[in-house]
């Protein structure tokens, strides 16, 4: 569970990270309410009181775990979106690639877990959704930016790039709740590709260049 050559644990910063990771794991597995601070501490390899030393209480720990997860998710998704350059020769193929990447981000275990967590605790901790929503917004905006460029280049026809982005994402992710059973089933790569393909097909029929 430790990083490298150090004997067991290289410093306080590592401990904090271990705690966040453990918290996320346990919250994801058991849910916020059922997750025990004992269990989280054990998973992190520290004493229970150490957890309280870093994060003041369970609620703060949850927030810490969610924020960390949102940060990682944002980076992954933006990386995917950035592959959508207008320069590619084949628009369909590019869209399919990007769509597949986005789908893979969406279907990452941790992604499912945060969404489930936030969904579960929305009444108790509405601010968790703010964190998440900000992330999702930035992804949609980034995607809209790229679609705008394509529109300007005459390769797409859409008066409202943000709407187009939203619908693209909806076509991609819309059926995943069912297919992945909310993240408890691993969706085969082939199925992901098919979904991405169908999404792109419909998207291009609606917004693509008229032949």
Partner DNA sequence: GATGAATGAGAGTTCATTCAT
Partner DNA sequence: TATGAATGAACTCTCATTCAT
| Contact residues for DNA, defined by CB under 7 A | 1, 12, 15, 34-39, 46-50, 52-54, 56-59
Question: How far apart are CB 124 and DNA at their closest, in Å?
Answer: 12
Distance CA 193, CA 199 (A): 10
Taking CB under 8 A as the binding criterion, the range among 52-60, 80-88, 142-150, 201-209 that sits at the site for a second copy is 201-209
> Would you count residue 67 as binding a second copy (CB under 8 A)?
no
SS3 annotation, the chain:
CCCCCCCCCCCHHHHHHHHHHHHHHHHHHHCCCCCCHHHHHHHHCCCHHHHHHHCCCHHHHHHHHHHHHHHHHHHHHHHHHHCCCCCCCCHHHHHHHHHHHHHHHHCCHHHHHHHHHHHHHCCCCHHHHHHHHHHHHHHHHHHHHHHHHHHHCCCCCCCCHHHHHHHHHHHHHCCHHHHCHHHCCCCCHHHHHHHHHHHHHHHHHHHCCCC
- State the DSSP code for 209: P
Nearest residue (CB) to a second copy, 17 versus 37: 37
125 binds, among DNA, a second copy, none (CB under 5 to 8 A by kind): none
| Nearer to DNA among residue 58 and residue 106 (C-beta) | 58
Instruction: Tell the smallest beta-carbon distance from residue 116 to DNA (Å).
Output: 17
Residue 178 interacting partner from a second copy, DNA, none (CB closer than 5 to 8 Å by kind): a second copy
Q: Residue 43, interface with a second copy (CB under 8 A)?
A: no
Which 173-192 residues touch a second copy, going by CB under 8 A?
A: 173-175, 178, 181-184
Residue 131 binds a second copy, judged by CB under 8 A: no
Instruction: For a second copy, give the closer residue by CB, 2 or 186.
Output: 186
Token pair belonging to 130? 């703010």
Give the binding site for a second copy (CB under 8 A): 29-34, 115-116, 118-124, 126, 129, 133, 136-137, 163, 166-167, 169-171, 173-175, 178, 181-184, 198-199, 202-203, 205-207
């Amino acid at each position: 569970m430790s990083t490298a050559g150090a004997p067991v644990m290289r410093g306080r910063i590592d401990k904090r990270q271990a705690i966040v990771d453990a918290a996320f794991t346990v919250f994801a597995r058991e849910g916020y309410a059922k997750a025990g601070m004992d269990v989280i501490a054990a998973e992190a390899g520290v004493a229970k009181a150490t957890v309280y030393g870093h994060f003041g209480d369970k609620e703060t720990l949850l927030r810490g775990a969610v924020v960390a997860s949102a940060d990682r998710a944002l980076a992954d998704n933006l990386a995917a979106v950035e592959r959508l350059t207008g320069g590619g020769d084949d628009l369909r193929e590019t869209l399919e690639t990007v769509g597949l990447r986005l789908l893979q981000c969406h279907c990452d275990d941790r992604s499912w877990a945060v969404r489930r967590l936030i969904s579960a605790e929305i009444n108790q901790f509405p601010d968790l959704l703010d964190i998440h929503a900000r992330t999702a917004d930035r992804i949609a905006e980034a995607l809209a930016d790229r679609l705008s460029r394509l529109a300007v280049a005459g390769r797409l026809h859409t008066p409202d790039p943000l709407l187009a982005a939203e619908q693209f994402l909806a076509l991609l992710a819309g059926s995943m709740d069912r297919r992945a059973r909310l993240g408890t089933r691993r969706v085969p790569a082939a199925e992901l590709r098919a979904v991405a393909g169908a999404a792109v097909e419909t998207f291009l029929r609606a917004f693509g260049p008229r032949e």
